[in-house]
Structure 1
Amino acid sequence: MRLDEFLYNLQFDTEKVRPPDWEVDWEDAPLPYKLYRDLPVLPLSLEVPLTLEGEPPPSEPDIRSFGHFLWYVFGLSQFSQFEQEKDIVQSFRRFAPSGGALYPNELYVYLKLENVPSGVYHYDAAHHRLILLREGNFDSYLAEALGNRCKISECFGTVFVSTMFWKNFYKYNNFSYRLQGLDAGVLMGQLLETAKRFGFSTGVFFQFLDKAINHLLGLVDLEESTYAVIPLSVNPVICGDSVGEVSVNELCRELPAIQCHHYMRSKRLKPYPLLIEMNEASMMETTKMIGSITTKDRKHSDGEMVKLVPVKPLLYDLAAISRKRFSPEMDFIFGKVSNAQLASLLKEATSSFEYQNDLDEQDHSEPRVSIYGCLYNIEGIQNGAYMYDEESHILRQLNAGDYRNKLQYGMTLDNVNLQIIPLCLHVAGDRNHYRSQLGYRGYRIQQMEAGMLVQRLLLTSSALGMGGHPLLGFDVNVCDEIYRNDEITSLIQLPIGHYQSRAWLKGSLQS
């Protein structure tokens, strides 16, 4: 299968990316976290604060506060147990959701803190600790891998978000490629929101010398690869200017290779050549390939414009809201949504989505991912399909009518009853995934940005007393037809509404 055809099918014809006879080997499932063996361990404080409000962040971070930061980003936060088809299902959950709770992503950090050996670590989520992979100062190496667009020497740390291909390929086959980018983005959305509470400035780098970063972390390209690099500082992080020309080969020669043994439980790994081929085709071999994205002005509808009520920024405790966040699935119930609630949801999610990154042009005006939605029974708003214009804080009507039945028929699984959902939102983006500007790398970047916006929507809906359930099991063509836009496509579906508590046993893993 050609890569262009693969990406098309991932988006518009998903049945073609999974073999019809694919059987999941549940008994050989990998662990949802990576475990390193026989390496130095740096324990992190288990006395994680119950709230992230009220206490001013430290002027200089220490290992204690940084450990708390990591736990709120990607630590194991909850153990749950519930009955499904007469079987008892048990799982460890984190504050960021993941498709099938498989968590294909891993976190690595390059740290320079007092009383801690400087070097590269893996965050061991299972034991809430750091595993030292490579000791030393790597400021110059990392800066060059980023095209010298960030003053790494002024950052106390850098986070690397990677993807382990097998961790959800074993269940979803090639469709996992779409999930991996979205999952990485949801994790990054949680990271950026958490960083604000700890007083950390961030910058997101989507473009870097992949093999050089993987070499630094000791990753095997055929198993795992870095998707994003996020420097952390107490001062503003800059993501631009100098690029120069540095090649992967010359940079990798500056550091010896490391081989770190890890355990993930699976014994019978099946090949995933398309994922490897996509990853290879997306890699950057030289910093000369780094660029920016010029976004087109969106075509606005001539339909009715609905002005949303002015709203103030929501004030909430991220710790409490993260614990409360819930994906209702079949637990949605009827409930009215007011104009003010809808306005707060859209305004808060899009305003908090603004972040420093290495894609934006200085004079950019249009976001790369946007919120569309089919609304039903919203106070003061006609039923119909809309696009949210965040700059003007208005809804632009694209089609009038009730689209619940059409959306329900477009779902591949009947795991959500859209008849009782007031908000069925879609995060949408460029139909061609910025191929002309970023090549095949554009697809995974777009998925990550969609995931980041989804996490903002989930956190905000939780703060408003509602729940959201991200879905990929839907017919994209049906949604694109509803919104009548041949340049934009729906990347993920997000029903949002009121819900009832589920009958399950769950317990916090927080001290």
Structure 2
Amino acid sequence: MATGHAESDKREHIPPLTEREAAEYTLALLRDPTSVNPDGWQVDWDTAPWPVKVHVGGSRRPLGVRRPLDRLLFYGLAVSRVRFDLTAPVPTTPHGPVLPRRSPRVTTRRPVPSGGAMYPTEVYVLETGPRPGAHHYDPYRHELVDLGQPAPAGVLRAALGLGAGAALPQLVLVLAHRFWKNLHKYADFATRLGAVDVGVVLGRVIRLGLVEFGVVDVRADLDGAVLAGGLGLDPCAEAPHLLVGLGAPRQAAAPEPRGVRTPWPPQVVERSSRFRRSSRFEAFQAALAAYPCPKPGAAFRSALPGPPAPDTWEGPSPGPVVALPTPASNVPMAGDVLLRRTSSGARFSGGSCTPAGLASVLDQASAAVAQLRHVGDGALGHEVALYCAVHRVRGVQPGWYRACGAGLIPVGRGVDPDCAQLVQEALLIDSLNVELAAFTVHVAVPPDFRSSDRGPRAHRERQISVGVVIEAVTLVATALGLGSHPVLGVDTRRLDAGYGLTGGSVSVHGQVSVGAVHPGVNWEVTVVPR
């Protein structure tokens, strides 16, 4: 296999999609994702990227698990397990299953789920304190790679439209989508999948950041081009989506030193120098970059306001409320739970779930959405609705429900003994037995970004919000001893019809099935930092 550097300077300019074209593109990704792929797109495994972004050169800082930042990165993002897959099926693309490869295979796993285990989210750590610096987090070695980019505080202020003297947290994380990580496998579906994966990582960062640092400040309103330039990123290969401030901001005691960029910063090396392209994918990314970025210039918060209010049902109830038990107020999130998840293809067994288990999952999912709005800059977590298809929960009739407060509200087809089978039939790839799950949580957001005044950014922000819910559901399911499996490749029209959402203001954008699972034939071992 040839090893080389990605060459982005030879790419011809692709104009951004117009607003109408971008809307048609994103709606097609929701309804029929393969319809927007380049003609004849097939997965070429010989050009697949490495599991992690590889830097050569530069200085490295090993991390442990004793400091707050170290723990956040390890329990959220590190390669923490190695999976030995005895059946070794080759992953598939929507509508494009391929024959399995019957040979042993070893894969690396991380604490958060990712579509196809691609992990396209890259994390950068910016330090603005006495020893300023910009670093890439290497999840394989659990190390920080110094990017040799000086003055990160100036880059942050410029990207956020802040004044020269604005106080900053001493630690700020940058969450970026590295396109080729899932574009090579999923083609244009990576437009949605990449943003959802960023949201999954964000959910874990918020969860751990509040514990470790007390204050978390999430910014979606940023100038991605300024941020990418300050980090030395190739804008054709990677796009910063979010900034996450950790801890209360502090005023710098002295002006940030005006350093000079390291003359030999670390270089990114690819497994293959051959990259396939999708003009529509790149044109949509160009549309995101070209859309005017709101620049409120709001200072980082030194404290968070009161706890977020839970979602409540607005308007008359369409049916009798099905009461659920009081959810567990404190679902245990010990280290082994954070590192372990069961969304790795295990087959559901058909076992039932208790109403208390369902209540706890829905409560934590709703709390994650409220928390996202609470710690964000106003761009994330809005217009998110949670629905639930009950398959086999003791004491709750199978059917279609809206999750709200302490209960379930029947919607759409309501009580429906065929609910589980219809959820199964909605899969674009019939590779999971979700009909044997206990229940399936569906996340609904507005399908057309033109309902917002944020342009195509609204599409990306809504997918990020979907990812935050997925992180919450999979983690709580693991804590309760249940299996889970997130899926984006679903026939949303069937599911919308089940919930009575057809033609409404929101549409299903993702699902997580939860239930008891059979013991898998594969096995995993946990790895820890050296």
Native 8 Å contact 2:348 2:515 kept in 1? yes
From the superposition, tell whether residues 218 and 177 of structure 1 become closer, same or farther in structure 2 (CA, over 3 Å).
same
Q: Cα offset for 1:40?
A: 2.1
Look up the match of 1:22.
41
**What CA distance in whole angstroms lies between the structure 2 residues aligned with 1:79 and 1:329?**
15
* 1:269 match: 275
SS of structure 2 residue aligned to 1:454: helix
Q: Which moved more, 1:374-383 or 1:310-319?
A: 310-319
2: CA distance between counterparts of 1:151 and 1:305? Answer: 53
8 Å CA contact 1:142, 1:152 repeated in 2: no
Work out which of the residue numbers 401, 404, 415 in structure 2 matches 1:400: 415
Aligned residues of 1:32 and 1:104 also touching (Cα < 8 A) = no
Secondary structure of the equivalent of 2:427? coil
Change in Cα spacing, 1:288 to 1:333, as seen in structure 2 (3 Å) is closer
Return 5+ residue gaps in structure 2 as ranges. Answer: 1-16, 89-99, 251-258, 299-310
SS at match of 1:426: strand
Secondary structure of the corresponding residue to residue 350 of structure 1:
helix
Contact kept, 8 Å, 1:330 with 1:417, in 2: the verdict is no
Range moving further from structure 2, 191-200 or 201-210: 191-200
**1:372-451 correspondence to structure 2 within 5 Å:** 372-389=387-404, 392-398=405-411, 399-402=414-417, 403-433=419-449, 435-451=451-467
Q: How do 1:30-49 and structure 2 match up within 5 A?
A: 30-45=49-64, 48=65
Residues 1:176 and 2:190 aligned together = yes
Q: Deviations over 1:393-415 (max 9, x none)?
A: 22111022121222222212222
Is the 1:213–1:226 contact (alpha carbons within 8 Å) kept by the matching residues of 2?
yes
Shift in Å, 1:341: 1.4
Shift of 1:152: 6.2
Label 1:168 to 1:312 Cα distance change in 2 as closer, same or farther (>3 A).
closer
Report the counterpart of residue 305 of structure 2 in structure 1: none
Which of 289, 303, 323 is 1:307 aligned to? 323
Give the structure 1 partner of residue 24 of structure 2.
Answer: 5
- Contact kept, 8 Å, 1:139 with 1:152, in 2: the verdict is no
**Distance of 1:424 and 1:316 partners within structure 2:** 22
Equivalent-residue separation in structure 2 for 1:496 and 1:44 (angstroms): 34
The alignment's C-alpha RMSD in Å is 2.9
> Structure 1 residues 388 and 152, CA, compared in 2 at 3 Å: closer, same or farther?
farther
Q: How much does 1:75 deviate?
A: 0.7
Cα distance in 2, alignment partners of residues 201 and 473 from structure 1: 35
Choose 266-275 or 423-432, whichever is displaced more. Answer: 266-275
Q: Identify if the C-alpha distance between structure 1 residues 256 and 40 changes in structure 2 by more than 3 Å, giving closer, same or farther.
A: closer
> Pairwise mapping of residues 177-196 of structure 1 onto structure 2 (< 5 A)?
177-196=191-210
Task: Decide whether the 8 Å contact of 2:115 with 2:197 is kept in 1.
Answer: yes
Q: Find the residue that maps to 1:329 and give its secondary structure.
A: coil
Separation of aligned partners in 2, 1:430 and 1:272: 26
With 478-487 and 133-142 compared, the bigger mean Cα shift is at 133-142
CA distance in structure 1 between the partners assigned to 2:285 and 2:221 by the alignment: 13
**Aligned residue in 2 for 1:280:** 286
Distance (Å, rounded) in 2 between the aligned partners of 1:152 and 1:275? 36
SS of 1:192's equivalent?
Answer: helix
- Which residue is 1:222 aligned to? 236
Q: How does 1:10-159 map to 2 (within 5 A)?
A: 10-19=29-38, 21-45=40-64, 48=65, 64-82=67-85, 83-84=87-88, 85=100, 86-112=102-128, 117-148=131-162, 153-159=167-173
Tell me, yes or no, if the aligned pair for 1:314 and 1:344 is still in contact at 8 Å: no
Aligned partner letter, 1:430: P
Letter of the 1:499 counterpart: V
- SS of equivalent residue, structure 1 residue 87: coil
Residues 269 and 360 of structure 1, relative CA distance in 2, 3 Å threshold: closer
Counterparts of 1:298 and 1:433, CA distance in 2: 22
* Aligned pairs (5 A) from 1:470-481: 470-481=486-497
Q: Which residue of structure 1 aligns with residue 307 of structure 2?
A: none
Determine the structure 2 residue equivalent to 1:497.
515
- 1:468 equivalent in structure 2: 484
1:33-78 residue CA offsets vs partner (Å, 9 max, x unmatched): 1112221222223xx36xxxxxxxxxxxxxx442232111211101
Counterpart Cα distance in 2 of 1:433 and 1:255: 42
| Cα distance, 1:352–1:171 mapped onto 2, change above 3 Å | closer
Could you tell me whether the CA contact under 8 Å between 1:112 and 1:157 is conserved in 2?
yes
After TM superposition, give the deviation of residue 281 of structure 1 in Å.
1.0
1:319 to 1:43, Cα distance in 2 relative to 1, 3 A: same
Partner Cα distance (1:334, 1:288) in 2: 48
Taking structure 2 as the reference length, the TM-score comes to 0.82
Please state whether the residue corresponding to 2:234 is helix, strand or coil: coil
CA–CA distance in 1 between the matches of 2:333 and 2:313? Answer: 36
Quote the offset at 1:94 in angstroms.
Answer: 0.4
TM-score (norm 1): 0.85
Counterpart Cα distance in 2 of 1:264 and 1:457: 34
Instruction: Give 1:349's aligned amino acid.
Output: A
Q: Name the count of aligned residue pairs.
A: 469
| C-alpha contact (below 8 Å) 1:328/1:499 kept by paired residues | no
How far is the alpha carbon of 1:166 from its aligned partner?
1.1
Q: Per the alignment, in what secondary structure is the counterpart of residue 473 of structure 1?
A: coil
Number of the residue aligned with 1:341: 357
Superposition deviation, residue 257 in structure 1? 11
2:52 partner SS: coil
Q: Would you say the 8 A contact 1:30–1:264 is kept in 2?
A: yes
One-letter code of the match for 1:382?
Q
Q: Are the aligned partners of 1:203 and 1:232 in contact in 2 as well (CA < 8 Å)?
A: yes
Does the C-alpha gap of structure 1 residues 287 and 104 become closer, same or farther in structure 2, counting only changes over 3 Å? Answer: closer
SS at match of 1:96: coil
2:227 maps to amino acid = I
CA distance in 2, matches of 1:190, 1:472: 19
Write the distance in 2 (CA, Å) between the matches of 1:407 and 1:123. 38
Q: 1:262 to 1:480 in 2, by over 3 A?
A: same
Alpha-carbon distance between aligned partners in 1 of 2:420 and 2:63, rounded to the nearest angstrom: 48
Distance 1:441 1:382 in 2: 39
Kindly provide the amino acid, as one letter, of the partner of residue 9 in structure 1. Answer: A
Alpha-carbon deviation of 1:112?
3.7
Deviations 1:206-254 (A, max 9, x none): 1111111111111111111101111111579xxxxxxxxxxxxxxxxx9
Long gaps (5+) in structure 1:
50-63, 237-253
Shift of 1:328: 5.1
**What secondary structure, in the 3-state scheme, does the structure 2 residue paired with 1:71 have?**
helix
